[in-house]
């Protein structure tokens, strides 16, 4: 289940998800690692130039209990329940750095979301049959975020695992700073 939103305070696109190990309720805590909720974000980070894993959050906070993602996760048992946030402030990474996203980019992001879902290999009963490469990708994203937290930001760096192109994207409007 995914609830799509616009977001004005952060750049790029990112997910909020529900990790039992990061829930405010103690009885939600699993006995083993529950990284399954992060895999979709790792795939999106790889396939979508506007998406950034480092802005994703998988905490289940008490104040978010009434949101669609937490309700679907807790009351209906949907383990892969998300809010997909797309910035109205534009992007600060990859091929869209310095641009607001237009309709063409939002449609592209929708296709990339579908591509990422197809890579999860969901079964009819809702179980996820994860390819080992998905776990490896998640590990790469986690290491990338840890390295970014340690290293100072440089103006030429990118947070995307997607190869950049030098051409301007059609439909993306430059961000104008006053």
Catalytic residue IDs? 85
93: burial class by Cβ within 10 Å (0-12, 13-18, 19+)?
Answer: buried
Residue 34, token pair as written in the block: 């529950």
Distance of alpha carbon 110 from alpha carbon 115, whole angstroms: 9
Distance of alpha carbon 25 from alpha carbon 132, whole angstroms: 30
Distance between start and end Cα atoms, the chain: 39
Q: How many CA atoms lie within 13 A of 61 on its CB side?
A: 6
Pairing relationship of beta strands 2-7 and 82-87 according to DSSP bridges: parallel
Do residues 69 and 17 make contact, with C-beta atoms less than 8 angstroms apart?
yes
């Amino acid at each position: 289940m995914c609830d799509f939103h616009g977001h004005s305070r952060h750049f790029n696109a990112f997910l909020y998800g529900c990790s039992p190990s990061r829930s405010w309720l103690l009885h939600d805590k699993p006995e083993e690692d529950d990284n399954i909720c992060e895999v979709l974000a790792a795939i999106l980070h790889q396939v979508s130039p506007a998406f950034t894993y480092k802005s994703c959050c998988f905490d289940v906070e008490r104040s978010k209990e009434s949101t669609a993602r937490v309700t679907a996760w807790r009351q209906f048992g949907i383990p892969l329940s998300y809010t997909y946030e797309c910035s109205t402030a534009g992007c600060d990474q990859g091929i869209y750095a310095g641009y607001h996203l237009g309709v063409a980019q939002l449609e592209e992001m929708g296709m990339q979301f579908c591509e990422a879902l197809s890579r999860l290999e969901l079964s009819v009963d809702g179980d996820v049959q994860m390819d080992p490469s998905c776990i490896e990708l998640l590990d790469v994203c986690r290491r990338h975020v840890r390295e970014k937290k340690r290293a100072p930001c440089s103006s030429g760096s990118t947070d995307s695992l997607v190869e950049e192109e030098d051409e301007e994207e059609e439909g993306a409007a430059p961000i104008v700073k006053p």
